[in-house]
Structure 1
Amino acid sequence: MWVSQETMDMKKLMVLAIAALPAAAMADVEIYGKMTGEIARNKTATATYPDNSAGQTAGSFGATTEIDSASGVNSHIGFRGNEALGNGLKAIWQLEQGIDFTDGGSGNTFATRDSFVGLASDDWGSVKLGRISTFQNSNMEYVDPWTYNGNTHVNGSNIFTRTDGRVDSAIRYDSPTLLGGLDFALLYGFSEPGNGQPKQNTFNFGVSYNWDAFTAAYSYLNYQNNNEAETSPALGQRFELMYSEGPLYLAAGYQQTRGYGGNLWPAANPGFDTLGNTNYKTREAELTASYSLGNFTPRLTYAYGWDVDANGSKQSDTGYKQWVVGTDYQISKRTMSYVSYGHVKYGQNVPFYSGSGTDSEYTLGVGVSHSF
């Protein structure tokens, strides 16, 4: 193939320009990420009830099959780096975004995941400013090691971890490791709309302790002015315990939430016929176990949500039961394949978008994931 002299000269200039970059500048920037592709068979609220305006009957759409990037949990690309400032102090930064390659990338934007700038020291810890994860999102979720699309699928613990996420306009402090295994973090997110609207700031405290094969963690989350009158906060507390020794992995979690309205579980109609316009409390527990056999890691998760308290009274048949079973197969150090099946059964008084209740969700997913 003939190549013009102009093209050759341009390539030479590009090589020279890259070679001329300071070595330190290039070394300070790390590019990392993960790409996950999954083909899934779904019967979930978001997959089968995309529009409630026509008053569909529960299950009338049946199940759907799709190929997606599992962008809710896994697919992402990031850039991060640091600069030594002297006396053990360094500047730190990160820009990270989720990737969805199933819709032509039309929804991809920058800084959708943890993106911040800050200062760090081995002596006193770190301070970050930006869009930052809560403690349970970054330091917990031991009960949810599954690979899945957390936005729409139930072949993972998307119900139990539904309050996990990131906070805009946030400042977060992370301590150094103390007493041989103690770590804690404080986060505050500013949401002050003005124009007479109340503040809806976020506060989060988390602590964990690691000793030998055990790790215990606790998180407290407070969303200010959550109810309709905007006078009461939404609260969440979670405790998790994890044991990992050799091929055996065990994790248990328990959480309580308090809020306003009816959007309790992902499948629930935001109107929530039986619980709308109420102050509610939830209690849930989850167990996960896995055992590695060579390159295979079979895994099982079971979650249970008790009936909901609304305005101080227990509402019958408003809980859920979920189980997930599957296995990972480690193809190489950075490439993994998996298959998983998740099923959720809701109480009779947890209406789907049709409002009929007595329904369930499931997802069967097969995928491959590569880290870089």
Structure 2
Amino acid sequence: MKKKLLAAAVAGVLAAPVAMADTGNVTIYGVANMSFDMTNNGNSTAGVAGTSTNKVSSNQSRIGFKGSEDLGGGTSAIWQIEQQINMDNSTTNPNTFASRNSFIGLSDATWGTVLMGRHDTPYKIATRGLDVFADTIADNRSLMGMSAGGLANTLTHTGITGPFNHDTRVGDALAYVSPAMSGLTIAVGYVPGAELATTSTQIKGSAWSLAGMYNAGPINASLSYQAIDVGTTGTGTMGGMLLAAGDKGKAWKLGGGYTMDAFQVNLVYEKTTSSLTALAGGDGAAQNNWYLAGKYNVSASDAVKLAYTKAGTNPQGAGTAVVAGSGAKQVSLGYDHSMSKRTVLYALYTKLSNDSAATYVLSSVSTGSGALPGAGASPSAWSLGLKHSF
């Protein structure tokens, strides 16, 4: 249930003492999403059992505050402050105020919305709604949304997230979202990289993200593109921690969903490329990933879900070289029971199978992932969770 409070009642928290909030409403909202997970890292070493872990996870639980002010002429000032809440008392990603989508902007029914702040990129937004296991340990971002993921290559990354995380949220963002035009919405995001004012050789980093999204009747379709140019070390956070100045990453993605009565089917295809200065030849080959999912409502309150994700061979190496055995696949099966419009009880099983050289892990949206697998391992998990939205 949305709870609305007069802005004046929270002015002492959300505004400086000399800038009291104007009359209007503040909406408090959030999601509490907790699960009990039984995981196994699927150690690939012959004769060695995988490490099993039982844990309570907070899956993107969050609380937010948002509001608007009518400026007249159809234009409104809008704002939002949202943060992740780790309800499992995890020390991983400690609670930080405004860690999620937090922004200020102007919105108009005729010309659209402009905002500044921290926000999901249009590339991410375009297909998040197609993942039937979003914000669980079976989330498809175990394998998708990154360039050169899944390899423990010390030249570029740790083997956990890959050097370029395209399916992401960025700070210092400037974004425009068009009004819906016969079901079509256009979104554009720009991130200007900071520059150290020391020498003329400093490289400016920047990122662009574009998406066209169509949603009308039973059809949901999108086409998105993202490009990241990394600046001089320390001048921005657009990608992984071990990126070097001059590295570049690009990705494009096509998504589609169709709903017919009680059945829903979703498909996503993604192609990523990376150019890494630490590698001889610089340019990497393309990596192709895809996702297929289905959901069937067996009753008004119950649904079964099935998803398959495939990550192609990895573009790590000189020129167009790839690493053999660097792909992976993931299969997930789940059941949802809606206890009300805002509360869902869910159960799922997921298994990720790495090829011989790959080290992908199960989704990190469940805080505290346990022991990491070795190359070629097949981590798996059972999860029982409860999600409440307010």
- Which category describes the TM-score, using the shorter chain as reference length? 0.7 to 0.9
1:124 paired with 2:79, answer no
CA distance in 1, matches of 2:373, 2:135: 27
**Is it true that 1:339 corresponds to 2:347 in the alignment?**
yes
CA, structure 1 residues 228+128, in 2 after alignment: closer, same or farther (shift >3 Å)? closer
Partner of 1:160: 144
1:3: which partner in 2?
none
Match of 1:329 in 2: 337
* Corresponding residue number in structure 1 for 2:99: 112
How far apart, in 2, do the equivalents of 1:187 and 1:239 lie?
A: 18
Unaligned runs of 5+ in 2: 1-7, 10-20, 147-165, 231-238, 361-370
Letter in 2 for 1:173: Y
Among candidates 227, 250, 254, match of residue 265 of structure 2: 250
Identity %: 25
Shift of 1:210: 2.5
Q: CA deviation at 1:228?
A: 6.0
- Report what 1:5 is aligned to: none
Change (3 A) 1:338 1:356: closer
Kindly provide the amino acid, as one letter, of the partner of residue 246 in structure 1: D
For the 8 Å contact 1:142–1:251, the answer to whether it is kept is no
Q: Where do residues 92-241 of structure 1 align in structure 2 (5 Å cutoff)? A: 92-103=78-89, 107-149=94-136, 153-154=137-138, 156-162=140-146, 163-178=166-181, 180-194=182-196, 195-196=198-199, 197-225=202-230, 230-241=245-256
Other structure's SS at 1:250 match:
strand
**What is aligned with 1:62?**
51
Deviation sequence 1:83-102 (CA, Å, 0-9, x none)? 01111111000001111011
Q: TM-score, normalised by structure 1?
A: 0.78
1:32 aligns with 2:19: no
Shift of 1:342: 1.1
Q: Is the 8 A contact 1:168 1:190 kept in 2?
A: no
Secondary structure of the 1:368 match is: strand
Q: Equivalents in 1 of 2:46, 2:190: separation in Å? A: 43
Distance 1:157 1:231, change over 3 A: closer
Distance 1:355 1:287, change over 3 A: closer
CA gap of 1:232–1:139, structure 2 versus 1, over 3 A, is: same
Matches within 5 A, 1:40-51: 40-44=37-41
Structure 1 distance, partners of 2:373, 2:64, is 41
Moved more, 356-365 or 34-43: 356-365
- The superposition leaves residues 198-256 of structure 1 with CA deviations (integer Å, 9 ceiling, x where unpaired) of 22211101101223211110110111138966334101111100112331111000001
Q: 1:351 to 1:336 in 2, by over 3 A?
A: closer
Highest RCO, 1 vs 2 (Cα 8 Å, sep ≥ 6): 2
The AA in structure 2 aligned to 1:303 is: T
Amino acid at match of 1:231: G
The letter for the 2-side match of 1:111 is A
List per-residue Cα deviations over 1:301-355 (Å, max 9, x = no partner).
0111222344313432111111111111100111001011111111112257989
Q: Which of 317, 334, 338 is the equivalent residue of 2:325?
A: 317
CA distance in 2 between counterparts of 1:26 and 1:322 reads 50
Aligned residues: CA RMSD: 3.3
CA distance in 1, matches of 2:47, 2:130: 30
Distance 1:142 1:288 in 2: 12
Q: Which of 278, 282, 285 does residue 287 from structure 2 map onto?
A: 282
Q: Return the index of the structure with the highest Cα Rg.
A: 1
> Which of 358, 370, 377 is the aligned partner of 1:359?
377
User: Partners of 2:123 and 2:145 in 1: how far apart?
Assistant: 8
Residues 119 and 80 of structure 1, relative CA distance in 2, 3 Å threshold: same
Note the alpha carbon deviations across 1:5-59, whole angstroms, 9 max, x for none: xxxxxxxxxxxx96xxxxx9675210011101100012349xx9xxxxxxx9996
- Whole-angstrom CA distance in 1 between matches of 2:22 and 2:372: 56
- Are residue 296 (structure 1) and residue 298 (structure 2) matched? no
Deviation, 1:260, is 4.8
